Amino acid sequence: MTQSWKLTLPCTRAEAEALGEDMGLLADLDPPPALMTSEMEEDNPDKWQVDAYFEGRPTVQAIALLQAMIPSSAGTEPVLERLPDEDWVTLSQQGLEPIVAGRFHVRNHADDPVPAGLVPLLIPAGRAFGTGQHETTAGCLMMLDRCRRLGERFGNIADIGTGTGLLAFAALHLWPRAYATASDIDPAAVEVSAQNAALNGVAPGGGRGEVSLYVAAGVDHPALHVRAPYDLLVANILAGPLIELAPSLTAVIDEGGTLILAGLLADQADRVVAAYRAQGMRLVDRIDNGHWPTLRLRKRPVIGWRRPRRWTPGANGEAPGYGSW
């Protein structure tokens, strides 16, 4: 078993955002490190931290690469520690308290009690992110719940960058006769989502009330094209990939369809909305959960010769390197 190491450096929120959007030359390492950024002091954008997890002790060159990407860390001594021979992703999520978002109660342990009147969802700590604790995932759950309370009806749902499958499962609870498609760029996330589907009583498959799972970057998969157009699409990833994917995500949404976006920070929202407005989407709702907004957009119907063309493979349907919260 390869020994894992953690490298910690201080950073600013702006630097954390930049790392989330582009790992730079770190992405060329074999294997690349996993980066996690966190806020150290609430409402202080200059007090953030990046933790880089490496398989094997990082080289001097790798440490220098990371530090070069964080200008504010110049002159700071990196903190390097060897981790126990355990799964650090699982360890990082152990002991998380259940959360309530809308009508949903998301727990990581099967024996956690579920309050009466709430919909239970079980997402164990594991290799994929999206256990509900992050504000972006909770915001998506709240937005889905709000859609249902407003009387929205959806029959063909997609969850792009699904992570653990949580948002797809929640959507199927709200619209149990819908078709559901979930995808992620990470094969491990798709495998975890399949396991979580079984835990939550969601059947795999392509029928109503079932979920189809695919490994895909963005919507770059033939099955995702065949199952389009979607009347509800959820994408909880990062601002950079969301902007890059605006043409291809919009193209697979039905006219009048709904798009829920998350994974962006408040000061990135205008850029994300502008990218989708250029594709014929309009903002209809927003939930702010701390610094993390969740956006709901609707696709404008287009009539006649200006009707948009369907997206085809190769037309900006891929955003390599993104993940989900």
**Full set of structural domains in the chain with CATH:** 4-85 (3.30.70), 92-306 (3.40.50.150)
d(CA 198, CA 195): 5
The annotation status of 137 as a binding-site residue, yes or no, is yes
Return the closest-CA partner of residue 189 out of 218, 172, 214.
214
> At residue 226, what are phi and psi to the nearest 5 degrees?
-65, -40
**Weakest mean pLDDT among 32-41, 222-231, 285-294, 298-307:** 298-307
The annotation status of 108 as a binding-site residue, yes or no, is no
- Kindly tell me if the per-residue pLDDT of 91 is higher than 70: no
Quick one: pLDDT at residue 103? 94
Report residue 309's pLDDT band, with 50, 70 and 90 as the boundaries: very low
Over residues 235-275, the pLDDT tens digits come to: 998 888 999 999 999 999 999 999 999 988 888 999 999 99
75 DSSP 8-state letter: T
Over residues 117-174, the pLDDT tens digits come to: 999 999 886 544 444 446 788 999 999 999 999 999 999 999 999 989 999 999 999 9
284: helix, strand or coil:
strand
> Encoding tokens for residue 9?
């450096």
The residue among 99 and 309 whose pLDDT is bigger is 99
Alpha helices in the chain (DSSP H): 13-21, 60-68, 88-93, 135-149, 166-174, 187-199, 222-227, 239-244, 246-251, 269-277
Report residue 289's pLDDT band, with 50, 70 and 90 as the boundaries: confident
Contact 265, 283 (CB under 8 A): no
